[in-house]
Structures are given as structure tokens and as C-alpha cells.
């Protein structure tokens, strides 16, 4: 006998409310419940669930029946046993360790473009830093496979104590944080496409003070917010 039911919800004290949908009674390999009336002595009489929704017969899922062929039956039993054994072995294995890998991809060639047209390259551009910072000299490897060394060279150039651009950028960001607008109104662009600083001397002064005070953001903020002359300069902008 096979009964298919749907769980509606769980009541208190581990009582379950079920809706029976199918019933199959097999006798000598035949389903004797086919086309037989099905009644329910106890059902949930509501607009959605009631005994009139009970169905008889089998909906075609014949594969659920155990096969009559003994060879097929033995194969099915072995498969189930093998699956259970493998599942037990997998459960006994330790938790897998995480592995992080990095694939190094050779850098592509970068070229100057005539009037910005990507289809009209002029000359290849080698790795390097802006030449306007004359006090810092860092060698950038040109080997396409030396991407890590080029990144290290860039980090060395940015953090060099003789590089004023990094400190100027940090100072400008702090000024913008306090007053809503940086001394350079385009904090992400200090180049030709950006806006010139409203007070270059003030920017240079703060960058020097920032470097001389151990690059302390706290001391820089105190200098900006407590110096009356700095506040007066800002008000004049």
C-alpha cells in the first residue's frame, strides 16, 4: 500500500495536519485502487482542502515501483549501498581547506593614441611615473612578466618621503572632509583636466606640516581647525 500526502502545517504537540492526495494498493503486481472510489472519514472541510480533492490511481511515476527484473533489482540495491558508503566516507573527511591563487597575466602594450583614437596608436608607452616629480627616481621594470615588480616600484614611488603629490592629495582630501570642498576642487584629478588649487601656498604649507608631523591625520585636522589664520584664508576663498 502506498499513500501520498502533503503536509499543510504542524500543530502543537508534534501533531501534523496532512492532506492525502494519492493512494495505491498493490495486489499481485496490480494497483487494485485504480478507478475505485475514495472516501475520507475525517478531513479538513474548508474552501481549499476537503475530501473532494482526494484522487485515486497513479500519476505515471511508475519508476517508483521496485523492478520485477532480479538483475535490475540487485543493481539498484548495490547502487544504493555504494551511495550510502560513499556518503559515509565523505562525512568522515575533514573540512576542506581554502586555497587562494593568483594568476599572473602579462601586461598588454599601452600606446599613445592619435587624437584619442584607439585604432590609431602612435608610440608605445613604457611603465613609469610622472616626470614632474624630479626628486624621486624609481626604476620600473619593462619586462611584461614583471608585473609584481612594477607594482612594488609604483608603491615605492608613491610612499617616498620626497614625493609631494601624495601628501598634497591627502591634505586636500582632509580639507574637503572638514569644509565640503577641497583646496583643489577636483580631488581625483590634480592634472591638466582638473581645477587649479584656489590657494597653492596653503596646500604646500599643509603638505609640509603633514610630512613634518609624522603624517598624522589627527595633528593635521587640529592644525586646520584651530589656526585662525587658516580659517581666515579659507573664508577668503
Q: How far is CA 175 from the centre of its chain?
A: 32
Name the residue ranges covered by the structural domains of the chain. 2-69, 163-236
Q: How far apart are CA 36 and CA 22, in angstroms?
A: 12
Alpha-carbon distances, residue 226 vs 124, 188, 204, 223 (angstroms): 50, 27, 18, 6
- Cell numbers linked to 222: 587640529
HSE of 22 in the Cβ direction (CA atoms, 13 Å)? 10
What pLDDT score does 1 carry? Answer: 61
What pLDDT score does 207 carry? Answer: 92
Alpha-carbon distances, residue 107 vs 39, 110, 118, 120 (angstroms): 76, 9, 17, 20
Q: How far apart are CA 78 and CA 70, in angstroms?
A: 12
Contacts of 159 (CB under 8 A, 6+ apart): 166
Q: How far apart are CA 180 and CA 183, in angstroms?
A: 10
What pLDDT score does 57 carry? Answer: 43
What pLDDT score does 176 carry? Answer: 93
What pLDDT score does 130 carry? Answer: 85
Angle at 23 between CA 20 and CA 28, to 5 degrees: 165
- Cell numbers linked to 32: 487494485
Sequential pLDDT tens for the chain (237 residues): 666 666 666 666 666 666 666 667 777 778 777 777 666 555 554 444 454 544 444 343 444 455 566 677 677 778 888 988 999 998 898 888 887 887 777 777 888 888 888 889 998 888 888 888 888 888 888 887 788 888 899 999 998 988 889 999 999 999 999 989 999 999 998 888 889 998 888 999 999 999 999 999 999 999 888 876 665 555 554
What pLDDT score does 13 carry? Answer: 62
What pLDDT score does 3 carry? Answer: 67
Does pTM top 0.85 for this prediction?
Answer: no
What pLDDT score does 14 carry? Answer: 62
Place of cell 612594477: 150
Alpha-carbon distances, residue 185 vs 49, 130, 169, 170, 195 (angstroms): 69, 21, 11, 13, 6
Amino acid at each position: 500500500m502506498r499513500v501520498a500526502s502533503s503536509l499543510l502545517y504542524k500543530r502543537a504537540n508534534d501533531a501534523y495536519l496532512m492532506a492525502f492526495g494519492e493512494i495505491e494498493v498493490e495486489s499481485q503486481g496490480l494497483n487494485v485502487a485504480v478507478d475505485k472510489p475514495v472516501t475520507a472519514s475525517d478531513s479538513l472541510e474548508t474552501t481549499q482542502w476537503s475530501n473532494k480533492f482526494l484522487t485515486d490511481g497513479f500519476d505515471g511515476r511508475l519508476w517508483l515501483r521496485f523492478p520485477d527484473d532480479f538483475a535490475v533489482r540487485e543493481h539498484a540495491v548495490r547502487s544504493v549501498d555504494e551511495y550510502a558508503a560513499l556518503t559515509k566516507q565523505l562525512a568522515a573527511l575533514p573540512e576542506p581547506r581554502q586555497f587562494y591563487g593568483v594568476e599572473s597575466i602579462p601586461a598588454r602594450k599601452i600606446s599613445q593614441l592619435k587624437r584619442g583614437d584607439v585604432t590609431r596608436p602612435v608610440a608605445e608607452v613604457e611603465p613609469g611615473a610622472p616626470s614632474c616629480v624630479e626628486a624621486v627616481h624609481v626604476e620600473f621594470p619593462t619586462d611584461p612578466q614583471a608585473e609584481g615588480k612594477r607594482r612594488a616600484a609604483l608603491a615605492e614611488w608613491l610612499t617616498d618621503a620626497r614625493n609631494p603629490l601624495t601628501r598634497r592629495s591627502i591634505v586636500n582630501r582632509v580639507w574637503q572632509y572638514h569644509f565640503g570642498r577641497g583646496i583643489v576642487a577636483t580631488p581625483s584629478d590634480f592634472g591638466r583636466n582638473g581645477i587649479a588649487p584656489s590657494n597653492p601656498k596653503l596646500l604646500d604649507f599643509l603638505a609640509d606640516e603633514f610630512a613634518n608631523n609624522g603624517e598624522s591625520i589627527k595633528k593635521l585636522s587640529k592644525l586646520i581647525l584651530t589656526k585662525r589664520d587658516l580659517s581666515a584664508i579659507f573664508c577668503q576663498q
